[in-house]
Amino acid sequence: MSSAVLVLSGPSGAGKSTIINAAADSIGDFYFSVSTTTRAPREGEVEGRDYHFVTKEQFEEGIENGDFLEYATVHGNYYGTSLLPVKEALEQGKLVIFDIDVQGHRLVREALGSKVVSAFITPPTLEELEKRLKGRESDSDDVIAKRVANAKIEIEALDEYDFLIINDSIKEAKNAFISIANAARYRMSREENREFTKKWLSQ
């Protein structure tokens, strides 16, 4: 088993975080990609778990070096997805997990190529998604409506993903996720295939 990149996408309320946490002990050593920011840590936030906290100078140096998959400025602070901890985790043989939207999936595919395996996670129906969002009692009706509208757009990109996980049962969704995560580790990139072929033919 080798390092791998696993991209997870799906609407808010699909249960992505719940599935990852439930499967954490069964997928080997992994790194969950977190954003990098120049803002100061808030009380209770932990470096490497909530964000990677850097200075403005460090962030801008990363931009110049092309280290960021994507970045933006929000309220005077930079936020972005740095490829440096991702590449470091891959060199350590870890499974790198991204929880990102459809556009982010496209960017990761473009940046990391054939090493990427992806899965789209969703409740079985749009009606069930709306029910779960309302059941959380954490969003206003307007926010829920926006999340549902966005889910309708994201599901149209389903054929861009390698796998579909229908989260009708956490246990079944967790098992599906574990299978996909382990399969991702056995998948070889085109570069690895060429290297193996060259070595195989030379012996």
Fold classification of 1-29+94-203 (topology level)? Rossmann fold (3.40.50)
Task: Provide the residue ranges of all domains of the chain, joining segments of one domain with +.
Answer: 1-29+94-203, 34-92
Average pLDDT over residues 82-90: 90
pLDDT, tens digit (0-9, with 9 covering 90-100), for 24-42: 999 999 999 998 999 999 8
Both tokens assigned to 145 = 């409506």
Listed residue (174, 171, 137, 142) closest to 13, CA to CA: 137
Q: Which tokens hold the place of 31?
A: 């790194």
Tokens of 30: 């992994």
Q: What angle in degrees, to the nearest 10, is found between the helix axes of 126-136 and 141-154?
A: 150
What torsion, rounded to 10 degrees, do the Cα atoms 33, 39, 42, 48 define? Answer: 20
Could you read off the pLDDT of 161-193 as tens digits, one per residue? 999 999 999 999 999 999 999 999 888 777 888
CATH architecture of 34-92: 2-Layer Sandwich (3.30)
The pair of three-digit structure tokens given for residue 19, joined into one six-digit string: 């599935």
Does position 151 have pLDDT exceeding 90, yes or no?
yes
The predicted-structure confidence for 88-110, as pLDDT tens digits, reads as follows 999 999 999 998 889 889 988 98
Percent of all residues in the chain with a pLDDT value above 90, rounded to a whole number: 63
Nearest-angstrom CA–CA distance, 182 and 25? 12
User: Which of the two residues, 136 and 160, has the higher pLDDT score?
Assistant: 160
Weakest-pLDDT range from 8-17, 132-141, 144-153: 132-141
State the pLDDT at residue 1.
Answer: 59
Confidence of residue 69 (pLDDT cuts 50, 70, 90): confident
